Amino acid sequence: MKPFALALLAGFILAGVLAGCKQDTPEKEETDTWDEAAVEHVLQKTMWRVEKVFKVTGSDVVDLEDDPGFDNQYFNYRKSILLAFNDTGVDMLESQPMTGNPKFREGAETYEFTNRLTRPTNVSYEWDDSRQTIVATSGQLAGFLDVPVGFAGVLDKSSIVTYSSYQEEEQSTKSSGIVFEVEAGSSVYQYHLKPVWYYETRPDATNTYRYVVFP
């Protein structure tokens, strides 16, 4: 397993990267209507989780989840790490997703938290005028979830698909999400993030909150 790739994926999902089978690149809608305020609103209005990671090298696209040669035991743990973009950086919290909630359509996954206590990471983000998009970078270690120093993820604005509420997304046939791209030598790693929507407070525990992710 390549040391750089292992460190790169460990930053968001405590995992590593290894090349594998070929896949078609997910389709994206081209758009240039996202200014700084609009993009920051998208990032901050929900929490996020890493749904997919692709390694793109020329015309070869590797989906790590479907790669039989990918042997990192922590890869599936990525869905238990939720990310929250705030005014100062990116925080995280942990929770196990659950399936089979009759409140939502098939395939939806739900989370339940007692208190919404987030922990800091060493990732910050800011608008890059030259790129006209958000760039997330890693600094000194934070102690809870540490991305290797020097990480730089560029938000691909053409990947943005967003809805105003979880009800709107549930009724849609197109999944919402965003993509951050990280260049590594001749390859580009694409981190596909999906929104984690708050939908209710637990009736018998007012400090317990419930969230949902749609497929």
Highest mean pLDDT among 3-7, 17-21, 124-128: 124-128
Q: Which is higher by pLDDT, 69 or 212? A: 212
Q: Which is higher by pLDDT, 116 or 134? A: 134
Q: What is the pLDDT of residue 179?
A: 98
Burial class (CB in 10 A: 0-12, 13-18, 19+), 101: middle
* Tens of pLDDT, residues 61-107: 999 887 776 666 667 788 888 999 999 799 999 888 888 899 999 99
Please state, as a whole number, how many other Cβ atoms lie within 10 Å of the Cβ of residue 67. Answer: 18
Residue 117's pLDDT band (cuts 50, 70, 90): confident
Residue 42's pLDDT band (cuts 50, 70, 90): very high
Residue 60 has pLDDT above 90, yes or no: yes
* Tens of pLDDT, residues 20-40: 333 344 444 444 689 999 999
How many helical (H) and strand (E) elements, i.e. helices and strands, does the chain have?
Answer: 3, 13
Q: What is the pLDDT of residue 143?
A: 63
**Locate tokens 């951050």: which residue?**
180
| Count of domains forming the chain | 1
pTM over 0.75: yes
Q: What is the pLDDT of residue 68?
A: 72
Q: What is the pLDDT of residue 9?
A: 45
* Tens of pLDDT, residues 121-166: 899 999 999 999 999 998 887 666 667 778 899 999 999 999 999 9
* Nearest-angstrom CA–CA distance, 199 and 196: 10
Tell me which residue range forms the domain holding 107. 3-213
For residue 192, CA distances in Å to 1, 56, 124, 127, 201 come to 22, 13, 18, 19, 28
Q: What is the pLDDT of residue 72?
A: 67
**Contact between 93 and 190 (Cβ < 8 Å):** no
Q: What is the pLDDT of residue 88?
A: 77
Q: What is the pLDDT of residue 184?
A: 86
Least confident range from 114-118, 152-156, 177-181, 198-202: namely: 114-118
